[in-house]
Chains A and B, each alone.
Chain A
Amino acid sequence: MSMDARYTPQIEPFFSRNGWIALALLSLLAFVVVPSLFVFVPDTSAFHISAYTVTLVGKIICYCIVAVAMNLIWGYTGILSLGHGLFFALGGYAFGMYLMRQIGRDGQYQSDLPDFMVFLDWKEYPWQWFGTDHIVWALLLVVLVPGLLALVFGFFAFRSRIKGVYFSIITQAMTFAFMLLFFRNETGFGGNNGFTDFKRILGFPITEPPMRAALFALSAAALIGAVLLSRHLIRSKTGRILTAIRDSETRLMFSGYNPVQYKLFVWTLSAVMCGIAGALYVPQVGIINPGEMSPANSIEIAVWVAVGGRATILGPLLGASVVNGAKSFFTQSFPEYWLFFLGLLFILVTLFMPRGIVGLVNQLRGSHK
């Protein structure tokens, strides 16, 4: 960084000191403490962490990755996607194909084909399944399928300057259309029921504690990676251009930037992050079906970010955790009130907490000083 006698540009730190400490502590928790308490401490001990808890937290970590991705496109760039659930689900389906193939002949019908294909009287894998018995290809698909779809869809949408609510509505229609497509048996992904009854990854049993712990740690690593990447991106010149798109796209165009490229870049990146999150989510919860593509799921992602606080580092993490924590509480204790709660949350947050929890905390801190 260069210096000038008349003016020294300010440099925003990557994280505050507290931020780094929190990151280190969380890493310790995710990579050492939780896995050891889960795998090595016997379940009779008070320190044992149950498989249920690990799965729930692992699931929420995946949602946090999605929220970070959503924050990039909505919080910083100002583009509200109502189709991010689709990318999440596509990543899940891509890895799900590998998981289905790992079942081998252990299915109900003891066939080389997945049960649903036997049921439909199919004799061989359709073309979409080509190569999915190799984990490398499956992982590549996890990135490529959401990425390419986002690239193509985004190219046409951004090029024609579809903006604001129009874009949101079109993305909603996109995920809706895909949901209908995946509901069909002929699409080749198990129709209504999707994929389930997974047995192994790389030959290791999927429900055994070591595998669960590994998936948990992997998810945490992916989340940390996503946070670091998005932080790096936002601090770069590209990040400032993204917020400039949000604040005044016209000025940006007349300054010689092509917003289409930038939108396409962050949109595709965001979609890929969702795909990875989906691929980590599916083996942990053990099921993927077209319901994940329903418009309601995608719009819920936006609410996580809104609740936590848009365009902040912590906001999406907080939002995804709080809302999903509340969801698992409600659906267990008062299932009929969950939708009331969620509906009110949408309304109250937009009306009274436009900057989310993080904004509220900052405001309270500010008023104390």
Chain B
Amino acid sequence: MASTPLNDTMITGTQDYASIDQSISSLITDQKRHTRPWFFMFALGLMGTGLLATSITWLLYQGIGIWGNNIPTAWAFDIVNFVWWIGIGHAGTLISAILLLLRQPWRNSINRFSEAMTIFAVMCAGMFPLLHTGRPWVAIYWLFPYPNIMALWPQFRSPLMWDVFAVSTYFTVSLLFWFIGLVPDFATLRDQSKNKFARVLLALASLGWRGSNRHWHRYEQAYLILAGLSTPLVLSVHSIVSFDFASSVVPGWNVTVFPPYFVAGAVFAGFAMVLTFAIPIRKLYKLEDLITMRHIDWMAKIILATGLIVAYGYTLEMFYAWYSANPNEWDLTLLRRLSGPYSWAYYSLIVCNIVAPQVFWIPWCRKNLTIVMIVCQFVSVGMWLERFVIIPMSLTANYLPSANRMYYPTFWDFGMFAGTIGFFIVLMFLFIRFMPVINIFEVKDLLYKMLGHRDSLIAHSAIEIPDLLENSDTVEIPLAGGAH
């Protein structure tokens, strides 16, 4: 192939290697760039974290009776929030692993903070099932198989057991993936930092990175291996989470479409959360040249596509309820979803997840940041409602009508959920302040490729790259003519 013009503006503005270094690493080296909005968000997050700490303390002191969980609704907010948070993490893994293997260069400027988001979301998610056990300090022997003094093993045939492995593997691999990707950037920061303490810390974190050929070779191999490991995880983690429900006999849970529909839902929610953070941050820190409208456009399209898969899932749930000819399934659909005390949740879910994303068919809606932000909020709420509809709502009506009972969340249910959101915000904003938000070296590599593999062009003068999306979708970059 002689030359492949890059039609998409994944970097805009007047750029050279130094300007990319500057715009990303100055977030860490120049702490004055963090102004009031940062402190406001951090304080907001801290308040949430305080609420979380209070909720957990009260929970441990008083027991899970402070939640609204009852029998038959033994799984409620705790599991809803767990599934919601785990789902949010999936965008990060999809972007970093699958898009890497598919050689999609547009991942480069958004992968770093979506990976961070994955890790923080899994941290938030992990709290819920642990606290749901009631006594997290002994949960280690309930959850992990090891030869213990009780001669007992967990039930290996239970999806709950698989869930433990799925989530802990997911967390470990995501963390490694994130860290490996950070090493060359830590080295860049180490070389730029003036602060002695910061330099020692960054030098430790960069593991003696000198940027030699051998280092790069090993880095690329390690990164590819981890991408290979992460790729099945994108599909497996939420499939296994869905088995928690699908393999049971509860009406409303026992549906074979659950695994793919949960995975699509996870990616759907994950991209909505990535956009929720990306849009304000690129504006606040003037990263519009690196996270361009092109990125936002593509992410909106992914939301639209996964939203359609999710809509298909809802349709199939209905269809199965009818086609199974199981009266309990059909009663649940008719009396607990389409009508009944919680039908508002079901209809809101349809509006949020099916109706709202349809605006993304219209190109100018994908370019209007306000609309994108609003749709993303709809999606986040909708995905939370989806889990609410599936988990506690299905449990309130079971096989025996005498066992039916309403579920009402308490203050502490909401408190803990809001608390994890606060905790997530704190972690994200600390991350923005102390770690490179965008993958520095990959963006530089992207710039090099966009300019037709000609270092000299970049080395001698800053190159102005026009924002092509403003004019047309398919104009070639003038300089992209070099041979590969």
Specify whether A and B are partners.
Answer: no
